[in-house]
Amino acid sequence: MPRPHARRARGFTLTELAVVFVIISLLLATALFTLSAQTEQRNFDETRRRLEAARELLLAFAVVNGRLPCPAIASSGGQESLSGANCSSPYGGFLPARTIGFQIMDAGGNAVDAWGNAIRYAVSGTTPTCATTPATPHFTNATNLRANGITCQPNDLVVCQSATGITATTCGTAVSLTNQTTLVAVAFSTGANGIAGSSGIDEAANLNGDRVFVWHTPTPAGAANGAFDDQVTWITVGELYAKLIAAGILP
């Protein structure tokens, strides 16, 4: 009985190889995109945790010292910076990491978010609205805060939903997310794009050194007001006074 002829071995054609490479490329691209998205989400969540930790440390500092700390400036190495009795930069400074005991810092002493960008901090710095003429500064001076009492309300910091229509002192025609007599402190991260990527007007409003800040859900570069990935948290006057009353610092 004759032996059957052995089937001749056949390699892949160029077309078949090209299809395989395309499939592998698509799988790798999908895996890399998924990994990148997961990393960004982890960084976002970690930054939110750091901001909440900063918020708690600011309130803890107030309980121990009877006042809020001033912001740090670039040259203060993470320590709060004062000019006489007043804050050197009440609206355009950094979280005073060394002053409040925030542990995650860069080499310069700046508190940093999960992307390594310095966390910003602003504190109410103008003359508050009080039942009687207040001694100033109020929220960053323990003696004055105790003397002025809890009738004093801030009148400067405010968070808006958009930079469109805002002024240097109010939300203007933009939607106001907070009352202008509510906030005593604001802390925020500049997000993954940091300062270098802050080309949108909403992000720029958080870095111009005035008392008006912007926060909303993240938007891409193609959005009307540009890319926005800042994370913002704040402390209200009610929270601050409640902590100080519970600690016996205020009546």
pLDDT digits (tens, 9 = 90+) for 24-61: 877 777 766 676 668 889 999 999 999 999 999 999 99
Examine residue 216 and state whether it is found in any structural domain, yes or no.
Answer: yes
**Residue 39 domain boundaries:** 15-246
Among candidates 100, 101, 108, which has minimal Cα distance to 75? 108
**80-109 mean pLDDT:** 97
DSSP three-state, residue 116: coil
Rounded to 5 degrees, what angle do the CA atoms 203, 98, 232 make? 25
Examine residue 141 and state whether it is found in any structural domain, yes or no.
Answer: yes
Predicted local confidence at residue 15, as pLDDT = 79
More confident residue, 2 or 206: 206
Predicted local confidence at residue 20, as pLDDT = 77
Examine residue 7 and state whether it is found in any structural domain, yes or no.
Answer: no
Predicted local confidence at residue 217, as pLDDT = 95
Of the pLDDT bands very low, low, confident and very high (cuts 50, 70, 90), residue 9 is: low
**CA–CA separation, 240 and 68 (whole Å):** 9
Predicted local confidence at residue 198, as pLDDT = 59
Examine residue 6 and state whether it is found in any structural domain, yes or no.
Answer: no
pTM attached to this predicted model: 0.85
How many domains are there within the chain? 1
Predicted local confidence at residue 39, as pLDDT = 83
Predicted local confidence at residue 2, as pLDDT = 54
Predicted local confidence at residue 18, as pLDDT = 78
Per residue, the 3-state secondary structure of 195-233, as one string, reads CCCCCCHHHHHCCCCCCEEECCCCECCCCCCCCECCEEE
Q: Which two tokens stand for residue 19?
A: 């299809």
Examine residue 68 and state whether it is found in any structural domain, yes or no.
Answer: yes
Q: Residues of 128-150 as b/e, b for ≥16 C-beta within 10 angstroms? A: bebeeebbbbbbbbeebbeebeb
**57-68 mean pLDDT:** 98
Predicted local confidence at residue 11, as pLDDT = 65
Q: Tell me: pLDDT of 80 over 80.
A: yes
Q: Cβ distance 211 to 171 under 8 Å?
A: no
Predicted local confidence at residue 50, as pLDDT = 98
Task: For 184-223, write each residue's pLDDT tens digit.
Answer: 999 999 999 887 655 799 999 999 999 999 999 999 989 9
Q: Tell me: pLDDT of 77 over 70.
A: yes
Of the pLDDT bands very low, low, confident and very high (cuts 50, 70, 90), residue 83 is: very high
Task: For 128-168, write each residue's pLDDT tens digit.
Answer: 999 999 999 999 999 999 999 999 999 999 999 999 999 99
**Side-chain half-sphere CA neighbours of 228 within 13 A:** 25
